[in-house]
């Protein structure tokens, strides 16, 4: 489908000019008009998009579902996905499922009713069965939703291994490990399993602190850290997602312990906030931009009729040495 952008480009005029002509909202010279009309004809551009959608059963809209965009990982993902969709000629509808009961179901319903052409979901609130009922373009970030739905994730097992080896290399003996609930079928649990396995193998005492599901707000993480110290948990190494690790490190600093001499920290995700704190965190970094690019590439090919069976895209993670580990 040719876009207004294409018409403007072909006619070698600005978007504003094309818009003014189509909407009769301002002066456009006769000569320019004919150039634009020619371009529209060549590109078979239909200005009445709603009517065109009804005909094509296409809206050019992809829905993106994430728990929220306050979390820096999802914010970065949404930022890149929106840009990639834009370049592919799609608009993005954003839905945050953390606060909105039933929203995930509603968007799947919009998919069924041709309001959106496809869905990229990083949400974790709906039963997998609901997804299995739908045979439409859906791409899942970090979640198993059935053999027809491609899964995009980093190699979380590798991530867990890198984190474990880093803390071991740094001589940690008592490790605090923030991990997510294992209620959702997600590849990211592999990082916890692998981390725990290696720790056990090396006889390193590990305290697994289970975080609540879809709880990504500041207040919650501060409570988690208070709870850790209230429980009197002893640790010389910490591993978990960015936010709780940062809150934990700040409390350790407030208690006048030295980082990294007394306590080592390794963050998972490695979003910009891990480089914004002092000392900068050693982190296992997820390639957010590539995750976005792959998600968009897949959803576009699904929209264009491609069919996948048990498709899984696995991307590399990277260990970024910060100042919260020594070696």
CB 317 within 8 A of CB 194: no
Chain centre to alpha carbon of residue 318: 17
Q: Parallel, antiparallel, or unpaired for β 118-121 and 138-141?
A: parallel
Question: Do 35 and 13 contact (CB within 8 A), yes or no?
Answer: yes
User: Interface with a copy of itself by CB under 8 A: which residues?
Assistant: 3-5, 14-16, 18-20, 22-23, 25-26, 47-51, 53-54, 59, 61, 68-70, 72, 75-76, 78-79, 82-83, 86, 91-96, 99-100, 102-103, 105-106, 108-110, 112-115, 130, 133-134, 218, 243, 246-247, 249-250, 253-254, 272-273, 275-278
Cβ proximity to a copy of itself: between 75 and 315 the closer is: 75
d(CA 61, CA 322): 40
Q: Using alpha carbons only, what angle is made at residue 62 by residues 56 and 68, rounded to the nearest 5 degrees?
A: 160
Nearest-angstrom CA–CA distance, 238 and 86: 39
* Distances from the Cα of 253 to the Cα of 75, 129, 285, angstroms: 28, 46, 24
Name the residue nearer to a copy of itself (CB basis): 58 or 173.
Answer: 58
Q: What are phi and psi of 35, to 5 degrees?
A: -60, -45
In the complex, the smallest distance separating the C-beta of residue 64 from a copy of itself, rounded to whole angstroms, is 8
Which of residues 39 and 108 has its CB atom nearest to a copy of itself in the complex?
108
Give CA separation, 230 vs 7, 130, 226, in Å. Answer: 64, 41, 6
In the complex, what is the shortest distance from the CB of residue 156 to a copy of itself, in angstroms, rounded to a whole number? 23
What is the closest distance, in whole angstroms, from the C-beta atom of residue 276 to a copy of itself in the complex?
6
Task: For the chain, give the number of residues.
Answer: 327
* Nearest to a copy of itself of 15, 38 (CB atom): 15
Q: Which of 148, 175, 196 is nearest to 266 (CA)?
A: 175
> Residue 68: how many CB atoms within 10 A of its CB?
17
Name which of 102 and 312 has its Cβ closer to a copy of itself: 102
CB-nearer residue toward a copy of itself: 52 or 174: 52
Q: Is there a contact between 28 and 17 (Cβ–Cβ < 8 Å)?
A: yes
Q: Toward a copy of itself, which CB reaches closer, 84 or 194? A: 84
Given the complex with a copy of itself, which of 176 and 277 has the nearer CB atom? 277
Directed axis angle between helix 4-11 and helix 30-43, to 10°?
120
Nearer to a copy of itself, 72 or 282 (CB): 72
- Using the Cα atoms of residue 86, residue 88, residue 93 and residue 96 in order, give the sign of their dihedral: negative
14 to 11, 29, 72, 78: CA distances (angstroms): 9, 13, 35, 28
């Amino acid at each position: 489908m040719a876009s207004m952008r294409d018409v403007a480009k072909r006619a070698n005029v600005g978007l504003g000019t094309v818009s003014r002509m189509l909407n009769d909202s301002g002066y456009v010279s006769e000569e320019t008009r004919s150039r634009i009309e020619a371009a529209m004809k060549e590109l078979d551009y239909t200005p009445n998009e709603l009517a065109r959608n009804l005909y094509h059963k296409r809206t050019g809209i992809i829905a993106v579902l994430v728990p929220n965009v306050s979390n820096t990982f999802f914010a970065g993902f949404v930022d890149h996905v929106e840009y990639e969709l834009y370049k592919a000629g799609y608009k993005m509808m954003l839905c945050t499922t953390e606060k909105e009961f039933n929203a995930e179901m509603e968007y799947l319903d919009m998919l069924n009713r041709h309001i959106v052409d496809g869905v990229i979901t990083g949400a974790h609130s709906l039963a997998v069965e609901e997804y299995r009922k739908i045979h439409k373009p859906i791409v899942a970030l970090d979640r198993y939703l059935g053999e027809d739905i491609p899964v995009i994730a980093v190699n979380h097992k590798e991530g867990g291994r890198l984190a474990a080896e880093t803390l071991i290399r740094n001589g940690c003996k008592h490790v605090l490990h923030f991990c997510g609930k294992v209620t959702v079928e997600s590849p990211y649990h592999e990082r916890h399993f692998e981390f725990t396995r290696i720790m056990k193998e090396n006889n390193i005492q590990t305290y697994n602190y289970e975080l609540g599901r879809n709880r990504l707000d500041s207040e919650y993480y501060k409570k988690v850290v208070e709870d850790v110290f209230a429980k009197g948990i002893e640790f010389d190494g910490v591993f978990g997602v960015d936010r709780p690790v940062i809150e934990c490190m700040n409390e350790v600093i407030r208690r006048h312990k030295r980082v990294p001499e007394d306590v080592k920290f390794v963050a998972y995700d490695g979003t910009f906030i891990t480089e914004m704190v002092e000392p900068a965190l050693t982190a296992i970094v997820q390639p957010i931009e590539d995750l976005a690019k792959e998600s968009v590439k897949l959803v576009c090919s699904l929209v264009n009729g491609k069919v996948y069976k048990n498709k899984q895209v696995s991307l590399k993670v990277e260990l970024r040495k910060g100042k919260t580990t020594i070696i």
